[in-house]
Homo-oligomer: A and B are copies of this chain.
Amino acid sequence: MSDLPKRVRIREVGPREGFQFEKGAISLADKVSLVDALSDTGVGTIEFTSFVSPKWVPQMADAEQVVAGIRRAPGVAYEAIWLNEAGLERAARLRDVLALRPMFSVAASDTFMRKNTNCSVEERLAELPGWAERYRALGMDWLDVGVMAAFGCNYEGDVEPRRVVTVLQQVEQRAQACGARLGGIGLADTMGWANPLEVKRLVGAVRERWPEARLKLHLHDTRALAIANAVAALELGVDCFDSAVAGMGGCPFAAHKGAAGNVTTEDLVFLCQELGIATGIDLDRMIAAGQLAERVVGHPLPGKLKSGGNLATYRATSRAART
């Protein structure tokens, strides 16, 4: 495991992924309290809301109020997402608070693209110049590309690495054609198809073509392999991961209700702690934030550390008992 990175950057996406998934209403105060608790953990980025139509995602109708309500901690980037021009305009009006990123997401599966976003991959690619133009107007001349369903798709089956590389090449060509460059590359295991061997294959294939690009993995724990997949990525030196406190969120495309969503932040931080990899995150505070998340949503969430406890605490207690 000699290629383990010394330091890993974790992007907390729990509030953004999680709240939209809840059936019951979550109060503005509860949303703000969770983001504030996360702000005190040492995490560098918190993706905490979406500027989307309240008609489709009623849980995110209060996005502006959440932005206005949170306490801004020094050194934390507060991020949000948008799916169309109207959403970006709403976010851009709040750019004194929000860290805007020039996101462009596309799926490696046409069927998933249609189910999730109501357009084909080709139609999405045709939208690229418009996005590049809008981002340029906001001072950003690159695109951070996220590839959804990068390992497999419940509708189309396994996704071969060469398909992901092809999609990324198409994005790069269209970006260059309108004067934008390819920024970071995010690979999302949206429906839980990855395994450690496939993580190594895909990361290897993308690295071979774009050796300098910053890779980010977005892993779902739908089928219990998310932490093992993170280990496989860490072994290749991947140093940026999305994760969700307490394992908030879920997967609307799974076979049965109750399927797990994103890899759990505190479990991933614990993994890094045990492997000697710095995250800058205070694990005890992240565990407390996970316990708060569970109280806020009002039902059990899948993360393990919030019940298992931090080994650092046991180590300190057992040392004290020996002396």
Contacts and interface: CB of A to CB of B under 8 A. Distances in A.
A192 to B, nearest CB: 6
Interface stretch (A8-16, A176-184, A253-261): A253-261
Contacts of A313: 255
Number of copies: 2
Contact of A158 (B260, B264, B305, B315): B315
A81 B267 CA distance: 32
B155 A304 contact: no
Given A225-B274, A227-B225, A259 B195 contact: no
A306 interface: yes
A102 to B, nearest CB: 33
B224 A271 contact: yes
Interface string A240-283: 00000000000100111111100010010011001100000000
A14 to B, nearest CB: 15
A196 B255 contact: no
A195 B118 CA distance: 42
Interface residues of A, number: 57
Interface string A280-323: 00000000000000000000101111111111011100110110
Given A152-B311, A224-B305, A300-B300, A196 B231 contact: yes
Contacts of A193: 311
Interface of A: 1, 152-158, 192-193, 195-198, 200, 221-225, 227-228, 230-232, 251, 254-260, 264, 267, 270-271, 274-275, 300, 302-311, 313-315, 318-319, 321-322
